[in-house]
Amino acid sequence: MHFDIWTTGIATVPVECLILGVFEEGELTEEARAVDAASGGRIGALLARGDLSGKIGETLLVTDLTGTKATRALLTGLGPKKNFARRAWRRALSAALTAVARTRIASVALAVTRPGAKELDDYYLGRAAAELTGATLYQVNDLKTGKKPKAAALDTVLAGPVRRAGAAAARRGLAHGSAVAYAMRVQRDMANLPSNVCTPSYIAEQARAIAKGVPTLKVQVLDHAALKREKMGCFLAVTQGSEEPAKFIIMEHRHSKSAATVVLVGKGITFDTGGISLKDPGAMDEMKYDMSGAAAVIAAVGLAAELRLRLNVVGLVASCENMPSGKAIKPGDIVTSASGQTVEILNTDAEGRLILCDALHYARRYKPAAVIDIATLTGACVIALGAHHTGVMSNDDALAREIISAGLRADDRAWQLPVTEEYAEQLKSNFADFANIGGREAGAITAAAYLAKFTQGMKWAHLDIAGTAYVGGAHKGSTGRPSPLLADFLIHRAGR
Ligand code: BES
Ligand code: MN
Ligand code: ZN
């Protein structure tokens, strides 16, 4: 894919198709007006006929255009003018790129007036262009035999309009956007694979493959014996019912000794049956996505290296299956975590927090400026926030705000839930330091309250992506979230 910007007059942009915006009120954007004038009112005539309503998601391909070097235009609806902001602009571009991907058009110029430089500067224009193109053209790595559907013809995307003064920023945005698209693809490819292919060993291999030949990246994989040496009793408890070997993957992007370190911790349950506290069979296949946090972490560390971010980024991935068997942990079992605290496992289906707590403890040795765990942790978070916002819980409000801002800029939104002390009371146990579940109320928060017991003294945030990392039903698949949010967070931390 070739990305660049366009700065000259719209009539001379050397592409096959211009992407132009039209408001729901029937009003044309600046670039659309220019093309309309050059073509003798062609676009206005189509709108007058009612061929495009201007609603977001609606598009219309105009062919045999005259007066411009491009002989086609793809009109895309921007919705009502008063709601026009970053998100509407992005959705309109997505719809346009999706429509282009169904044609044999090979080159396009994005010429949809931006909602305003404050909403979307030149850098984010470039970033959105590359990222949305990548996301639109993504093809699921299915295991179907027979011919793959033909790839889209699209191979050139020019972002604009950009003034000369903004060209460098826009080009930087394009490079960063390509990296974000790549990170999303890495996450989605891994998460879409079934658990008999995407095992903990497979995830470790992927981390190694990404690091291969990249001088700033280092990967180390701890096996069962090493986990015992690290005394990761909670992680070991989850994996003990499974035949598939567990892996603890350490992936480091090292910028310099003096740079601050961000540690990302990923939940890598390659399949979550619930264990002895067995899940309902309905949609249990979706528990193959329970390693989405791990995939996002590996993708983010890879992105940090690709963009040579001036930051040390460490990815820690705890990966295993959660299975019922004669060797599996049972409700009421008590284990000792790497931190030394004891845990009564009242529900074996609350396994994510068990593997994360030992990984979070491991993070301490890096003296991180911030540690963020990413996990498909609770069904309760899906009930609270649905598929639209990732749940953010933190012991540091500034860090939570930083994450939420990154999500807004990246259009990968997150919403904060409170983790005040009261919630920890729900974790009380008669027999151990605390239990691994806190009852029905505030399930997303009590999971975070459990993790908070292992992160004291560190600036920590927890992202619950159970509702955002994948979609079920007819369009089942990984979404690649929260890779855009993580990328934005790291890029900003490093100083873009
Ligand atoms: N992986 C699940 C959480 C989940 C549920 C992700 C639905 C995506 C969709 C997690 O391991 C789990 O089973 N959590 C339990 C916790 C409960 C036992 C306290 C849950 O949410 O039901
Ligand atoms: Mn579970
Ligand atoms: Zn799980």
What pLDDT does 352 receive? 99
What pLDDT does 148 receive? 85
Q: 290 CB under 6 A from ligand 1? A: yes
Q: How far is CA 87 from each of CA 56, 246, 318, 412, rounded to the nearest angstrom?
A: 11, 40, 34, 10
CA of 403 to the centre of ligand 1 (A): 23
Residue identifier of the C-alpha nearest atom 22 of ligand 1: 379
CA of 307 to the centre of ligand 1 (A): 34
What pLDDT does 127 receive? 97
What pLDDT does 119 receive? 80
What pLDDT does 229 receive? 98
Q: 373 CB under 6 A from ligand 1? A: no
CA-closest candidate to residue 437, choices 331, 359, 339, 320: 331
What pLDDT does 496 receive? 54
CA of 270 to the centre of ligand 3 (A): 9
Segments of 328-433 assigned E as strands: 333-336, 342-345, 370-375, 390-394, 414-416
What stretches in the chain show pLDDT beneath 50? none
What pLDDT does 65 receive? 97
Q: In order of start, what are the domains of the chain with their CATH numbers?
A: 2-159 (3.40.220.10), 192-495 (3.40.630.10)
Q: 437 CB under 6 A from ligand 1? A: yes
The verdict on pTM exceeding 0.85 is yes
Q: Are strands 247-253 and 312-322 parallel, antiparallel or unpaired?
A: antiparallel
**Burial category of 167 from C-beta neighbours within 10 Å (exposed 0-12, middle 13-18, buried 19 and up):** middle
For 343, half-sphere exposure in the C-beta direction (CA atoms, 13 angstrom radius) is 34
CA-closest candidate to residue 374, choices 457, 464, 309, 481: 464
Residues less than 5 Å from ion ligand 2, measured at CB: 272, 349, 351
Q: 7 CB under 6 A from ligand 1? A: no
